[in-house]
Amino acid sequence: MTNRNAILKRAVKEIQDGMCVNLGIGMPTLIANMIPDDFNVMLQSENGLLGIGAYPKESEVDPDLINAGKETVTARLGASFFDSAESFAMIRGGHIDLAILGGMEVSQNGDLANWMIPGKLVKGMGGAMDLVQGAKRIVVIMDHVNKHGESKVKKTCTLPLTGQGVVQCLITELAVFQFTNGKMELVELQEGVTLEEVQEKTEADFIVSESLKINS
């Protein structure tokens, strides 16, 4: 089973005090409960909410208060509500400091595929294509391999692309990669993971940082 706690623990370190952050549907939404209490972070949702709080307790559930993944959420003091057009204007206008998105595949030059699998029902692309172009920094979190044991970190994505060369940081249960000038660099190993394991499970070509760090 994938150690998603390791992924989330590392991903939350990408968030800095004062940021405006968009968390993609799926695993990224879990990060909302992990942001330090003393951080002034505004979480933004494509469906029109700025100031998302933690997941609600049973007594706090409001069916009208949801995130883009249709999960019930809470609103922080000072939160604001608006229509989705205003939300996308915020994204396209470059006002989102950081977007943390899930991924199906990431290529060695930073391409991202995360919105559809051909032949499977999909309601639409959501806000991913806008986010990868409008947010100032894109971090992708995902499992390193699929359920068949095949690498999701590819030389070239095989699924329809969300964006080309848009990923700046990739975090998996095995490692952390940075993308600079079209090159993929292994910068961190997750606790208990060896370089040989990452090489074995990664289809993409990558370079190893001279200051490779091991997370704990």
The amino acid that residue 194 corresponds to is T
Cβ atoms of 37 and 79 closer than 8 Å: no
Query: What HEC string does 184-207 produce?
Result: EEEEEECCCCCHHHHHHHCCCCCE
Given a contact cutoff of 8 angstroms between Cβ atoms, the answer to whether 141 and 148 are in contact is: no
Identify any residues that bridge with 24 across adjacent strands, giving them in sequence order. none
**Catalytic residue check, 210:** no
Question: Under a CB-based contact definition with an 8 Å cutoff, are residues 157 and 132 in contact?
Answer: no
- Report the distance separating Cα 169 and Cα 9, nearest Å: 15
**Contact indicator for 61, 72 with CB cutoff of 8 Å:** yes
Indicate which residue of 46, 105, 173, 188 is catalytic.
46
Cβ count within 10 A of residue 93: 9
Say if residues 31 and 9 touch (Cβ distance below 8 Å). Answer: no
Active site residues: 46
